[in-house]
Amino acid sequence: MTSEENPTSDTSDPASHADEDAAAPGEARQDRWLTPGVAGVGAASFFSDAGHEITTAVLPSFLTTTLHAGPGALGLIEGASDALIGVSKLAGGPLADDPPMRARLARGGYLGTALLGGAIGLTAAVWQVAILRAGSWVARGLRSPSRDALLGVLAPRTGYGRAYGLERAGDNLGAVAGPLLAAALVAVVGLRHTLLLAALPGLLAAIAISIAAREAGRAVRAPQGRRRLRLNVAELRQAGLGRALLPVAMFECGNIATTLLILRATGLLHTDGRDLAAATSLAILIYAGHNAVAAAASLAGGALIDRAGPRPVFAAGAAAYVLAYAALAAGIGGWPLLVAAFALAGVGIGLAETAESTLVARALPDRLRGSGFGLLGIVQAGGDLLSSAVVGLLWATVSPAVAFGYAAAWMLASLAVIPLVAGHAWRPR
């Protein structure tokens, strides 16, 4: 069923921008949310994440055994890449505000991520790996706001939660498939060829996002004349995005890197006669389960958001993290407790990330959504970097219990702030 275009709007009211956007001719307005374009975005996230997880799983062994580098080189490469992805998301935001450029950037970003990541298999020196890994992460960051803005066009407003939940589920399932594929490929073809083959899922992702971009191009009219593509902070503030992102920023300050979760699990499992190799393998298996739970939580959370709004879903995600961190801080051994803690963390990230993306899509009109997703990206990356650094420092200088307690405190703070945040984007519609 197609709705009529809203003939009136009040440009002084952020909420009216969103309502105008809901009925604009460039938006998807059908009740059916699962279109080929939405499915294409979900498939692109799955294939791309599977490919980059293959590279991530193999890279440490490739650097140390093939290129004879140490863990310091790996840390520098990964640290620089993680820093670049947040900056590139912010840079890609204003570019994604332009519909034609958004489509090109999404296609090019997925293709660039695949080709640059796969080319690591051709390298003969550590500096070459560093350049290709950083380039791959920049392409990944630049494409993210465009992908999320495409979803805002492809899905109706009543289906934003489910659409963004599907995209997050695809990403998390890729994180399950990638390491499993890496383990199988290394056993058959070796490290170099596994890195080269990691580009294939990324190429499938580029095809899938092209399908989505083509469908979005049919749905949205290209703007007339030239547009000034810049991060319009004043309009984002007027739309209420800064205030709306306050709980998100607090949440991200407690959202630590999953490698720290794996390290904690490995240490707790390295007891009762279990050697380090067995403990590491079991911790990685538990982490794969975490990603599977996150995928299921994304789908369930998206459906709930479309009925009740992002607020209760985001709050449930933060609460799940508090319980997970409490279990990890307690440090009680035994794999059943660790499975429960990792499952809770999976629920937390699946619910919270889906709510965050839906929040931005609902808060902004199409012409500002790319910038909004770019701002969300830098908040997420900056918060994650700060949280991981502080937790790692507290772990090393005080204790793991204090480190995870610090992270849990930020999650509790985000829960406390949620009731104080007003705005149409957080409320049920």
Whole-angstrom distance, CA of residue 188 vs CA of residue 192: 11
Residue 349 lies in a domain: yes
Q: What does the pLDDT look like over 85-108, one tens digit per residue?
A: 888 999 999 999 999 999 999 999
Residue 210 lies in a domain: yes
pLDDT at 82: 75
Whole-angstrom distance, CA of residue 226 vs CA of residue 322: 48
Same domain, 182 and 141: yes
Same domain, 108 and 188: yes
**Domain end residue (candidates: 193, 220, 247):** 220
pLDDT at 121: 94
Which of the residue ranges 202-206, 223-227, 421-425 has the most confident prediction, judged by mean pLDDT? Answer: 202-206
Residue 92 lies in a domain: yes
pLDDT at 221: 62
pLDDT at 77: 82
* Interval 166-195 mean pLDDT: 92
Buried b (16+ CB within 10 A) or exposed e, 154-184: bbbbebbbbbbbbbbbbbbbbbbbbbebbee
The torsion angles phi and psi of 31, rounded to 5 degrees, stand at -65, -30
What domain range includes position 342? 230-429
* Element housing 376 (H / E): helix 366-397
Identify residue 204 by its one-letter amino acid code.
Answer: L
Number of residues assigned to the chain? 429
Whole-angstrom distance, CA of residue 296 vs CA of residue 300: 6
Identify residue 207 by its one-letter amino acid code.
Answer: I
Same domain, 204 and 235: no
Same domain, 240 and 369: yes
Same domain, 427 and 407: yes
pLDDT at 334: 76
What is the rounded end-to-end Cα distance, in angstroms, of the chain?
18
Q: What does the pLDDT look like over 230-281, one tens digit per residue?
A: 777 778 888 888 888 999 999 999 998 887 888 888 888 877 777 877 887 7
Same domain, 189 and 317: no
Residue 7 lies in a domain: no
Residue 120 lies in a domain: yes
pLDDT at 381: 87
pLDDT at 387: 86
For every residue of 4-65, DSSP letters joined together read: PPP----TT-HHHHHHHHHT-TTS---S----HHHHHHHHHHHHHHHHHHHHHHHHHHIIII
pLDDT at 213: 93
Same domain, 159 and 275: no
CB within 8 Å of 292: residues ≥ 6 apart: 172, 173, 176, 346
Q: The domain that contains 202 carries what CATH number?
A: 1.20.1250.20
Same domain, 286 and 182: no
pLDDT at 11: 38
Q: What does the pLDDT look like over 38-78, one tens digit per residue?
A: 999 999 999 999 998 899 888 888 888 889 887 678 767 87
Q: Average model confidence (pLDDT) for the chain?
A: 85
Total domains in the fold of the chain = 2
Three-class SS string for 202-225?
HHHHHHHHHHHHHHHHHHCCCCCC
Share of the chain above pLDDT 90, in %: 57
Residue 13 lies in a domain: no
Same domain, 59 and 103: yes
pLDDT at 422: 58
Same domain, 249 and 379: yes
pLDDT at 65: 86
Whole-angstrom distance, CA of residue 408 vs CA of residue 6: 44
**Domain end residue (candidates: 200, 220, 240):** 220
Residue 412 lies in a domain: yes
Same domain, 295 and 410: yes
Confidence of residue 15 (pLDDT cuts 50, 70, 90): very low
Same domain, 210 and 234: no
| Signed CA dihedral, 315, 317, 320, 321: sign only | negative
Closest-CA residue to 321 (of 408, 400, 391): 408
Tell which wins on pLDDT, 211 or 285.
211
Confidence of residue 32 (pLDDT cuts 50, 70, 90): confident
**Domain end residue (candidates: 195, 220, 245):** 220
Whole-angstrom distance, CA of residue 199 vs CA of residue 57: 14
Residue 17 lies in a domain: no
